[in-house]
Structure 1
Amino acid sequence: MDAGNITIYDAAKKGDFGLVKWIVEYSRSSLNEYAKGHRTALHFAAMSGNLQMFKYLTERCGLDPLKGDINLVTPWDIVHDIAENGLKSKYAVKGSICNSEHKEIEQYLEKRYSHSYYDFYRNPIRAGFFPDPSICRVGDDYYMVNSSFVFFPCIPISHSKDLIHWEIIGHAITNPKWAYLDELEGGRGYWAPDISFYEGRFYITATYRLNDVGPVYRRQIVVSSERPEGPYSEPVFIDEDGIDPSIFNDDDGRRYMLLNRGARIFEISKDATKKISKPQLLFYGDNKRAPEGPHLYKKDGYYYLLEAEGGTGPGHMVTVSRSRELLGVYEPCPYNPIMRQKDPDALIQRCGHGDMVETPDGRWYMVYLCGRKIGDGYSILGRETAIDPVTWTADGWPIVNDLKGPSTMQVKPYPDLADFAMLHDIHSKIDKEKCDELLEPEEESKDYISPCGLPLDYMTPRPFEEGDVSFDKGNSFVIKGSKAPISSVDSRNLVLRRQTSFSFEYVADMEIPELSEGQHAGISGYYDENTFVLFGLMKKNGKLYVFSQEHIGEEDKWIFSDEPIEYDEETIRFSMNTDYLKRTLSYELISKGSKRRSEDDPGSVIFATLPDVYYLCDEGYNKGKRFTGALVGMYAYSGDEDLLSVKFRNCNYIDI
């Protein structure tokens, strides 16, 4: 896109509108190309503050002010940041005039979209390990479920008032005796749940995916409750092969379950506990590859069938078909796929597995899974949840985000619900920090602790036994050491939470336990039993050493401190600082009178830097089912020696 020795990006950044026009209208440049960082010319025009040029690129060239770059920064973000911060903005161009001109562009954008900058939300709305979303509405409240695989408690249930701010309120399975996960490999367990409401009860169905040892690989479970947060009934199994079940309630009161491949349907009993007809195929799918995730809706005399197709990778998509009769012939939508990422270099990828919901005032939205890839194509946050508006065409078809694929920045469904957003922010702070100053212990226990005893944002790989893990006020965990190593499906007592950003710090204070030879405890970055990193204390040759272990399939990389630690009291603070795929491991002996490595280093010690934890990504290792995302937390390993009990305090996850 050169005009002589200057590109359109250079010209736009300098505010040279005349040169930009010449490059657009007379050179051989193409506006579907991108600068470094996946930025369009409009990103650079936003930096310059030239309103006339910004309007030209927006209105005459069709560049999108809401299109995100590789970091999901939009041209409007740049305009707003400079308008607010002037030359202090990191986007400000040296020597340019700031504030006033950028405020004019912001006024233009507010008029264009009929909303202020603060009326927009960002995708994904559920960051980190929140795949396969399903949604339903009851009154003014929205409820969503996501896959949990082998993690316990099973199938998180989230609540929202505005479709954007969500918090976990419960789980579908909190009784360890009802989880049936003990022998399952990572990536198995509970897949693609669906939530619905019928005659005063919430119903959640999901696929129970077993190991590949047969003869049964897949079964369907159903649980129900009068309360969205539970407790839910003991799982009932429906023995029909397939994945991604959903329940459809027809107007005549009859109930049905849908499954892949394609969309197969069979009738179920009123209480959703029994299959009462043979399954039959409604429609295989429009794309014809890996059709799954079927959901059925009835609107204006049509049955609309939503399907996920193309596989849960780069070709993932959502398609729709319809029929006048439930069991009739389904006609594919002429606008298919109604959701797909068409830009292979955009950050948000593999968009599919959608579910639609109607608001009380008749608007429609679709939640769907997505993934953000970094580096050489690694999605360390796993599959996440996004949302976009659905509009209905004149010929009666639903299309998502005007067929533009996933949005970066979109008008909030309820921009006036500021009170709920503020309340959510307060709850998030409480949920992360378990702040005793903001909540009485009884209220904290009632609202933020699962019946299994864990905070709602923590989980364990497979269920733990009573006494293995406990949580107490003040954000303290007590973990009993597992006899099996973390690399085994028999391992227990690893307490984790989702990684929700590319850059974060996880800190935990561990009371130094009495370790026997070979025992160890500390914090962990975890994907599954095949790939993880441990950072902690180990008893070796009769002394305590700080260590790290990277476990990648059959390979282990160990690092030990040069000298054993010396301490007078009882506490060591572990810190895992993450910057995309790089992790910095630090520790600090914080007890009074502790002896440190050096008198010149009285604080935290950087123990090791792990430059590339690619193995914590979906694509990082080729074994088993890798559908989740990276987690972080605490663990204790006792081996066959004496019993081990380890106390962790002040466990904090901080986005950077």
Structure 2
Amino acid sequence: MRLSSGVMLAALAGPAAAANSTYYNPILPGWHSDPSCTQVDGTFYCVTSTFISFPGLPIYASKDLINWKHVSHVWNRESQLPGYSWATPEQQNGMFAATIRYRDGVFYVICEYLNVEDKDSGVLFKSTNPYDDASWSDPVTFPAPKIDPDLFWDDDGKAYVATQGIQLQEMNLDTGAMGPAVPLWNGTGGVWPEGPHIYKRGGYYYLMIAEGGTAEDHAITIARAKSITGPYTPSPNNPILTNRGSQEYFQTVGHGDLFQDAAGNWWGTALATRSGPEYKSYPMGRETVLFPVTWAGDGSDWPILQPVRGKMSGWALPPPTRDVPGDGPFNSDPDVYDFKTKGGAIPRNLVYWRVPREGAFTATEKGLQVVLGRNSLAGLPGGPEPAAKAISFIGRRQTDSLFTFSVDLDFSPKADGQEAGVTAFLTQNANIQLGVVLVEEQPSFRFNVSGQVKTSAVPKGWEGKTVRLEIKMVKPTEYTFSAMLAADEKTRVALGTASAELLSGGSGSFVGTLIGVYATCNGAGEGIDCPAGTPNAYFKRWRYTGDGQYFSETETVPREGKGKGKGMRRKRSMLDSGL
């Protein structure tokens, strides 16, 4: 059957289970928080939070729940929300948790853009083709004083939005007009009741929410009512999903959504953090996990959510396949980008921190041309406020516990402070950098760990030659930064290590680490501009390869051919996105 999980859910307990399948969490590794998913004609679609990164609100599509292709971004052009990005003051404002739903041939993504003064913050995007960025509409804006909007249609066709709190409002999906707020349920006593989703099944409205905050006490709870406005009766089994107080590797489990596959089996997604109970080292932040769902057969008809673990067993998965439309990469694929085509598109899985300056990133015959920004990654030079927002940075999510990232840099700084390099980036307040910089007219390497700087001269004979910069994790708690001549890897020089704890929580508790490149003149110039004549940096041979994925404190996902059910997920197709 076809299911849009924001519309009517069939009164179905699920068919007799076939042989169970085994799979590994997370299904969307790397920073993919607050997932919302639906299934249409055998294809699953998920959206996750992106806050101030741009493009925002990625859409992933899959036919087997394991191989997820990045097919579009909902928020993909400045004109959809003109002026919002640079008016966003904090590191974790922007696009909070979205909900994706489908009805009558149209996909809807509803979200709140948080903390832009004097602007409506609720946004509703529509598309008839989620495989095409351009198909996503300009948003219908609406007042949304609370975060995490859900979208639900009742039997009479009326559309409702539930938000943090938990409150309900009727909504006109064409104009954004909102009805009066009706309080529904405040949860079981945990802080921050939020992330609501409403489903209808067997004559009941089920209201599933997150509470307890998005850290160690995170949990999913549920209540139901015969009327959409209540009163709602909580499940006697609350919380119905949590790992709080446990020794599990996956912590912070919560903020879930439920949906059915084409065979009628129920599934759920949620966010989780691979931190263990110590909750200290988790640079990838909150990731998306998958769990089977059944319904109680004792007549009570409450959902039963299988506890989240690294290795899962449940419903028979749909047949493995990567036959998914669209031109984006799969989330588990490596990056193999050379940027050789002048004016070529930027690969879809690469993102910026806020909308970039026009012309700051351009594919050329020499590679990815990056115009140096006046501010550093920390956004700390003087000058007008926008200087702290227009950072010249582009990166991809760290999606593996162990990985190797390298890129070749052509850069000839002409004045002290001009710098370009690679970075593991959580926020402007927490990042690790290795750059080539001119210091007192001496080309140097600068290793910068959130403001703690170590500088060393570039070896003699390297000047004017292409340098390869590398970030590597050979254990999931430490980054290693190295440099070498691109033409001779035997010249490798190790330039520093840094703990992954520096990129865990803190100023980036909602986000996760991005791996990429940057270029800056470190405050020279005026406004957002470096001085005239500042050279550009050119990056080519961009490579990211996953080297290992931990699903417990001590175990990694089997490589292709060495573990049941993993062949399709670990398949490494060498995509170049046409560049």
Interval containing the TM-score (normalised by the shorter chain): 0.7 to 0.9
Aligned equivalent of 1:615, options 491, 502, 505: 502
Aligned equivalent of 1:195, options 100, 107, 128: 100
Give 2:225's aligned residue: 323
Give 2:282's aligned residue: 379
Question: Aligned letter for 2:200?
Answer: K
Aligned equivalent of 2:295, options 389, 392, 399: 392
Give 1:19's aligned residue: none
Give 2:352's aligned residue: 460
Question: Aligned letter for 2:66?
Answer: I
Say whether the 8 Å CA contact 2:411–2:420 is kept in structure 1. no
RMSD of aligned C-alpha atoms? 2.8
- Determine whether 1:260 maps to 2:156: no
Q: 1:416 to 1:154 in 2, by over 3 A?
A: closer
Aligned equivalent of 2:481, options 576, 580, 585: 585
Q: 1:366 to 1:418 in 2, by over 3 A?
A: closer
How much does 1:378 deviate?
Answer: 2.5
DSSP-derived class of the 1:643 partner: coil
2:441 and 2:357 mapped to 1: Cα distance? Answer: 30
Give 1:346's aligned residue: 248
Residues 411-422 of structure 1 correspond to what in structure 2 (within 5 A)? 411=313, 413-415=315-317, 417-420=319-322
Say whether the 8 Å CA contact 2:256–2:268 is kept in structure 1. yes
Query: How many residues get paired?
Result: 504
Give 1:561's aligned residue: 456
1:565 and 1:206 mapped to 2: Cα distance? Answer: 53
Choose 645-654 or 427-436, whichever is displaced more: 427-436
How much does 1:427 deviate?
Answer: 5.3
Identity over aligned pairs, percent = 27
Aligned equivalent of 2:153, options 249, 255, 279: 249
Unaligned runs of 5+ in 2: 1-16, 380-387, 526-530, 548-579
Question: Aligned letter for 2:355?
Answer: P
TM-score normalised by the chain length of structure 2 = 0.81
Give 2:70's aligned residue: 168
How much does 1:348 deviate?
Answer: 0.3
DSSP-derived class of the 1:603 partner: strand
Rg comparison, structure with higher value? 1
Higher relative contact order (CA 8 A, sep 6+): 2
Say whether the 8 Å CA contact 2:69–2:331 is kept in structure 1. no
DSSP-derived class of the 2:322 partner: helix
How much does 1:235 deviate?
Answer: 2.2
Aligned equivalent of 1:479, options 365, 370, 382: 370
Question: Aligned letter for 1:367?
Answer: T
Give 1:61's aligned residue: none
How much does 1:532 deviate?
Answer: 0.8
How much does 1:646 deviate?
Answer: 1.2
Q: 1:235 to 1:281 in 2, by over 3 A?
A: same
Give 1:518's aligned residue: 417
- Determine whether 1:501 maps to 2:388: no
1:393 and 1:407 mapped to 2: Cα distance? Answer: 21
Say whether the 8 Å CA contact 1:520–1:637 is kept in structure 2. yes
1:454 and 1:301 mapped to 2: Cα distance? Answer: 48
- Determine whether 1:135 maps to 2:48: no
Residues 60-79 of structure 1 correspond to what in structure 2 (within 5 A)? none
DSSP-derived class of the 1:177 partner: helix
Say whether the 8 Å CA contact 1:266–1:275 is kept in structure 2. no
Say whether the 8 Å CA contact 2:296–2:303 is kept in structure 1. yes
TM-score normalised by the chain length of structure 1 = 0.72
Say whether the 8 Å CA contact 1:162–1:414 is kept in structure 2. no
Runs of 4+ that moved beyond 6 A: 421-424
Residues 167-316 of structure 1 correspond to what in structure 2 (within 5 A)? 167-179=69-81, 180-184=84-88, 185-210=90-115, 219-229=121-131, 230-231=133-134, 232-261=136-165, 263-271=166-174, 273-316=175-218
2:442 and 2:180 mapped to 1: Cα distance? Answer: 65
How much does 1:287 deviate?
Answer: 3.6
2:308 and 2:318 mapped to 1: Cα distance? Answer: 23
How much does 1:205 deviate?
Answer: 0.9
Aligned equivalent of 1:606, options 494, 500, 507: 494
Say whether the 8 Å CA contact 1:525–1:630 is kept in structure 2. yes
Aligned equivalent of 1:570, options 465, 468, 479: 465
Residues 88-127 of structure 1 correspond to what in structure 2 (within 5 A)? 119-127=21-29
1:144 and 1:497 mapped to 2: Cα distance? Answer: 18
How much does 1:515 deviate?
Answer: 3.4
Question: Aligned letter for 1:588?
Answer: M
Q: Deviations over 1:3-38 (max 9, x none)?
A: xxxxxxxxxxxxxxxxxxxxxxxxxxxxxxxxxxxx
How much does 1:635 deviate?
Answer: 0.7
Give 1:26's aligned residue: none
Unaligned runs of 5+ in 1: 1-112, 593-600
2:63 and 2:279 mapped to 1: Cα distance? Answer: 37
DSSP-derived class of the 1:311 partner: coil
- Determine whether 1:369 maps to 2:271: yes
Question: Aligned letter for 1:492?
Answer: I
Q: Deviations over 1:387-446 (max 9, x none)?
A: 111111131111101xxx21332236554513438999x95499533479xxx989xx9x
Question: Aligned letter for 1:506?
Answer: F
Q: 1:429 to 1:343 in 2, by over 3 A?
A: closer
2:360 and 2:118 mapped to 1: Cα distance? Answer: 33
Q: 1:123 to 1:591 in 2, by over 3 A?
A: closer
How much does 1:565 deviate?
Answer: 4.4
Give 1:634's aligned residue: 517
Question: Aligned letter for 2:467?
Answer: I
How much does 1:648 deviate?
Answer: 0.7
Say whether the 8 Å CA contact 1:544–1:565 is kept in structure 2. no
- Determine whether 1:491 maps to 2:390: yes
Give 2:559's aligned residue: none
2:302 and 2:279 mapped to 1: Cα distance? Answer: 37
